[in-house]
């Protein structure tokens, strides 16, 4: 970053101590496997010993935000094994606010079995489990600065987005300046065309990888110009080829940070955590993208979405050496 940006970071870092990002969506237990190639139908493939990791796209973002020093909250649905897995205490130790987490007494915490081939193509099998209870929980009275709607229940995300959008229109509500962030992720097939258009109409930030971007355009039968006219900040990631930020007719190219990538799982979630945290710390969009890219570079160096998350100081040290 430039000296001016570093000064901005310093000046805004203390201010960000009182700010909060709330993340809505999955808490999950991940089982991650690296394989030579993804299995074809009616075949089998050998895998290494199974190892459990803490994950879930929403919780990956929430933990990433907390690690970077900003107040973090998670709204989610978990099951009977949340405490026995150690995940509850893990989140408590990070200081993440979990009062909005629904605990099912019947279902397991959602689980993901993630297979990655040598070209970093992935296939995921997801156990919905306690996530079926989203229909039973009310939309919370959000406070804070940003609400990030991650992978989870599409209908619940639409409810949250519409509620927050209505807050913006209420001049008498003290929380009418909350920004809405959205990442459809691998739950994109849950969204109908009507759902997706509603989300696009409401959000301030939207994050997608390039595969999801193409699927969204096909789903809503629109083009890039439609998205950029509707969404103040649109971010599309391209893996090792970096990312592009579209805002107010501006196109900002962000390079991928060079690193020794071991496993790509969770890179996108860490990108979002880094971007939104940098935004709250007062960075412009270009530096938000650089912070996000650098954040992702840490995560891909080890297996597990939360295994190698940096602190803000660690991130800046690497970023300023690039």
User: 314: which 2 tokens?
Assistant: 């660690």
216: CB partners within 8 A, 6+ apart: 184, 188, 196, 208, 227
Locate 141 and state its tokens. 């009275």
Q: At what angle do helices 267-280 and 57-67 cross, to 10 degrees?
A: 40
Report CA torsion sign: 236, 238, 239, 245.
Answer: negative
Among 153, 269, 284, 313, the active-site one is: 269
Structure tokens at 134: 């989203």
* Radius of gyration, alpha carbons of the chain: 19
What's the burial of 140, exposed, middle or buried (CB within 10 Å: 0-12/13-18/19+)?
A: middle
Give bridge partners of residue 77 from the DSSP assignment.
102
Distance CA 5, CA 13 (A): 12
Hunting for tokens 């979990």 — which residue is that? 98
Q: Does the annotation count 269 as an active-site position?
A: yes
> Are 29 and 39 contacting, i.e. CB atoms less than 8 angstroms apart?
no
Residues serving a catalytic function are 269
């Amino acid at each position: 970053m430039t000296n001016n940006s570093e000064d901005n970071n310093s000046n805004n870092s203390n201010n960000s101590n009182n700010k909060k990002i709330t993340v809505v969506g999955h808490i999950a237990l991940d089982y991650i496997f690296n394989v030579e190639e993804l299995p074809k139908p009616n075949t089998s493939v050998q895998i290494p010993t199974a190892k459990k990791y803490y994950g879930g796209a929403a919780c990956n973002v929430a933990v990433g935000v907390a690690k970077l020093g900003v107040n973090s909250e998670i709204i989610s649905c978990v099951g009977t094994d949340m405490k026995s897995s150690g995940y509850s205490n893990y989140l408590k130790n990070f200081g993440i606010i979990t009062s909005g987490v629904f605990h099912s007494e019947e279902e397991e915490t959602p689980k993901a079995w993630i297979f990655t081939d040598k070209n970093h193509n992935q296939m995921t099998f997801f156990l919905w489990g306690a996530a079926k209870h989203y229909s039973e929980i009310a939309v919370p009275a959000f406070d804070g600065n940003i609400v990030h709607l991650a992978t989870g229940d599409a209908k619940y995300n639409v409810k949250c987005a519409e509620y927050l959008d209505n807050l913006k229109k209420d001049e008498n509500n003290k929380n009418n300046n909350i920004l809405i962030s959205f990442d459809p992720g691998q739950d994109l097939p849950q969204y109908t065309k009507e759902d997706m258009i509603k989300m696009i109409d409401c959000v301030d930030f939207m994050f997608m990888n390039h595969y999801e971007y193409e699927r969204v355009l096909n789903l809503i039968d629109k083009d890039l110009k439609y998205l950029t006219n509707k969404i103040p900040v649109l971010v599309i990631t391209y893996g090792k080829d970096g990312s592009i930020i579209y805002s107010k007719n501006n196109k900002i190219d962000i390079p991928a940070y060079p690193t020794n990538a071991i496993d790509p799982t969770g890179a996108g979630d860490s990108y979002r955590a880094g971007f939104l945290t940098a935004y709250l710390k007062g960075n412009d969009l270009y530096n938000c993208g650089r912070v996000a890219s650098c954040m992702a570079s840490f995560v891909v160096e080890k297996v597990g979405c939360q295994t190698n998350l940096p602190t803000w100081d660690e991130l800046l040290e690497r970023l300023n050496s690039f």
